[in-house]
Structures are given as C-alpha cells and as structure tokens.
Amino acid sequence: MSESVRLVCPAGRKYVETWAGYALVILGLVTVIVDPGHWANITLGVLLALGGIASAVHGHMIKNPVLEFDGEELRYERGDYVVEVAFRDIGSYHLLPGRIRSLGLYDRTGRPKLFPSLAGRRTARRYLPLTGITNPAKVETFMSAAGIPPHQRSLSG
C-alpha cells in the first residue's frame, strides 16, 4: 500500500476565535486583579473570562478541511463530512476563487462531479469547500503530486 499525502487547509476563523478567547480570558483576569474590591470589576472580569473560555473552546472545535490521497483514491474530510473519490473517476480539477476557495473535480469526460451537500441545504454541490486562506499554490502542488491535471477551461479545446 502506498503512503498517503495530506493537505490540511488552515481555517482563519479557528485561529481568530481561539486567540480572541485567550485574549478575553486574560483581559478578564486583569480586570479583576486591577481592582478586586469593587463588585463591578469582579462581575465584568468573570463575564469576560467566561466569554473568552466559550470562544476559545468553540475555536478549538472547528474542524479544518483535509485533502488526502493514497495510491487509489482522493479523500476530502471536513468534520463528519467525508468524500472519497477513486482516481479512475477523476479527470481534472479546478480551484474556484472567491472568499472561500473551493475545489471542483471533473470526470474523464469533463463533466463536473456532484457531491452530497454539507449541511443538507441542497441535494448536491459541484465543489468541495476549502478555506479562504488556503494557498492556491499548495493546492496545485498537492493535486499535481496526486497526478490530477488542472481542468482546461478554454472553448477551443
């Protein structure tokens, strides 16, 4: 069996929520330490610390999208949502630009592959969402290492 290669897409929201939570906890502690004799400072400090703990815990719970391939299949995982596509079914790929980058896969005839919806809002989607701060060059390098060529979007063929 061949070794698998992984690409973990960074989630900016995860880092922002986690570090903002830590900052709120520290701010809450500082608020209590500055004037521990006044009830308003203690109340504000406790509320800031509780909000910070909630934000940090929620930030740690956010799952980063992961692309992985081994010799037989390409695997996309985002939390509990998992898509496995055999290499023989993939003809090319296209990285969609935008606020949240997405990966579109095409079969050997050039038709887009359909995937089940992430949240059940639609019956199918034509792309796999990555994250907004995913480096397109890393995705292109990953896909070329997997042996999947980019999708030619020209009309002349």
pLDDT in tens, the chain (157 residues): 457 788 888 888 888 999 999 999 999 999 999 988 889 999 999 999 999 999 999 999 988 889 898 878 888 888 888 888 888 888 889 888 777 788 889 988 888 888 877 666 666 778 888 887 888 888 888 888 888 888 876 444 4
Q: How many CB atoms are closer than 10 A to CB 25?
A: 19
d(CA 55, CA 21): 5
100-114 pLDDT per residue, tens: 788 889 988 888 888
What is the secondary structure of 20-38 as a DSSP string? Answer: HHHHHHHHHHHHHHH-TTS
pLDDT for position 20? 96
**Residue 12 identity (one-letter amino acid):** G
User: CA 142, CA 135: separation in Å to the nearest integer?
Assistant: 11
